[in-house]
Amino acid sequence: MQNNHRPVTRAREVCVSMLVCNPFLNDARVRKEAETLTLPGYQVTVHALALPGVAPRSEVLGSGVRVQRHGASEAKPAKPYGATKGGRSRREVLALVASRGRALLSMAWAIFRARPDIVHAHDVNMLPTAWLAARLVKAPLIYDAHEISTDREGYRSFRGMVGWIEKQLVPRVAGMITTTDARAKFFARAYGVARPLVLQNRPRLVKVEVTNRIREELGLSEPWPIVLYQGGLQPGRGLDRLVKAAAKVPEAYFVFIGGGSQADELKLLAKASGLGGRVCFIDTVALDELPSYTASADIGVQPIENTCLNHFTTDSNKLFEYVIAGLPIVASQLPEISKVVRKHDLGLLVPPGDTEALAEAIRSLVSDPELRLWYRAHAKQAAQTLNWETQEQTLLDLYANVLPNRAVAESRR
């Protein structure tokens, strides 16, 4: 696997503190941004959540990115006192809130001690802590809104609080980033700010040998095409419809790569539908390994449903990951996804939530190898522009603009 970095503006050493609300193990976007900043000389520390027994408290990645994880060092699962099926008990919820609160305080204290030149908050979960830390060290704050959290799956009961937090703090940040043009327009209108910088969730441009990795790992004996979905197995992403569509597409394997709250439900649905041999599941894989899995499939599917504004405005990591891997695509006909697929002629679009249309589109690609080759050729061509390297300089430009008086950027070569 080859990683191709384009030349970027050089910078004198400037310390950056990033905050993420996860253990920073498979966060592709944050990792790419941190790596981009280290290339020209920024010193980046990612403050993440502790995951005892799985990830070290402190480490330095091969790229030079430093990671500090915060939270209980001996976290134990709460007893199922008062637990109900499918939910957490009150004791578990209180324990989780207390643990998260300690982690956030630990992050703020670590940033105060480090006194970075800039603080970078990833998503609204980290915005209040990052704002407080930035105020304490008198550093500018960048807010990176990966999602529209005021209208997002799983956030509806908190949308009022989320909206209040963003309304208070977004106008005070020195710079803002989001993932699509539609989301940038939303944030600009909602909070009366300049349109945020758009950094799409594109992967780095990597060259991966096409292998039979999925086929061999799962022991798939038939020479049928592999239809791939990779990403979180969560409600609202059309995954139950994808399993149902599999029943209507014979002589094809359907493979899900990832984990999430809907994993067990999908496995049971596949079994009940008599698809156990054709619908397969692979747990979440490491970021560095994922491209080789993707490239060993034949068709990439993105069947997300229009259940909220966040979904309506998404384009998603997987869409670009399929492109880099050269896969023909079947995707939901939502504005940002459609814009990418149509512009580069990457595959077929279907109305979101329409199981029959989804099955028909997949059937047409499964049964037509020449059509798959046509879209593969277009994907390979599109990959030359739909990659992280073509947009990473804009991130460095934002940093240079946020810190204009520190002379952190030298002139372009």
Domains in the chain, start-ordered, CATH in brackets? 2-199+391-406 (3.40.50.2000), 206-382 (3.40.50.2000)
Residue 10: predicted pLDDT? 47
Residue 108 has pLDDT above 50, yes or no: yes
3-state SS assignment for residue 118:
strand
Residue 66 has pLDDT above 60, yes or no: yes
Is pTM beyond 0.85 here?
yes
Residue 73 has pLDDT above 90, yes or no: no
Residue 102 has pLDDT above 60, yes or no: yes
Query: In the structure, what pLDDT confidence band is assigned to residue 52 with cuts at 50, 70 and 90?
Result: confident
DSSP β-ladder status, 2-3 and 66-70: unpaired
Residue 406: predicted pLDDT? 53
Residue 82: predicted pLDDT? 33
Question: 86 and 93 in contact (C-beta within 8 Å)?
Answer: no
327-342 in b/e burial notation, b at 16+ Cβ within 10 A? bbbbbbbbebbeebbe
Query: In the structure, what pLDDT confidence band is assigned to residue 207 with cuts at 50, 70 and 90?
Result: confident
With pLDDT > 90 as the criterion, what percentage of the chain qualifies?
A: 82
Query: In the structure, what pLDDT confidence band is assigned to residue 91 with cuts at 50, 70 and 90?
Result: confident
Residue 216 has pLDDT above 80, yes or no: yes
Tokens of 244: 């149902």
Query: In the structure, what pLDDT confidence band is assigned to residue 410 with cuts at 50, 70 and 90?
Result: very low
Residue 158: predicted pLDDT? 85
DSSP β-ladder status, 66-70 and 43-49: parallel
Residue 411: predicted pLDDT? 34
Tokens of 241: 């419809």
Residue 364: predicted pLDDT? 98
Q: Rounded mean pLDDT of 79-90?
A: 45
DSSP β-ladder status, 197-198 and 66-70: unpaired
Neighbours of 61 (CB within 10 A): 15
Q: What is the mean pLDDT of the chain?
A: 90
DSSP string covering 38-57: HTTT-EEEEEEE--TTTS-S
Residue 412 has pLDDT above 80, yes or no: no
Neighbours of 128 (CB within 10 A): 15
Residue 103: predicted pLDDT? 93
What is the edge-to-edge ordering of all strands in the sheet holding 279-282? Answer: 279-282, 253-257, 226-230, 299-302, 329-332, 347-350
* Higher local confidence (pLDDT), 412 or 4: 4
Q: Rounded mean pLDDT of 20-40?
A: 95
Find the range with the poorest average confidence among 173-182, 337-346, 402-411. 402-411
Distance CA 192, CA 310 (A): 19
Q: Rounded mean pLDDT of 328-354?
A: 98
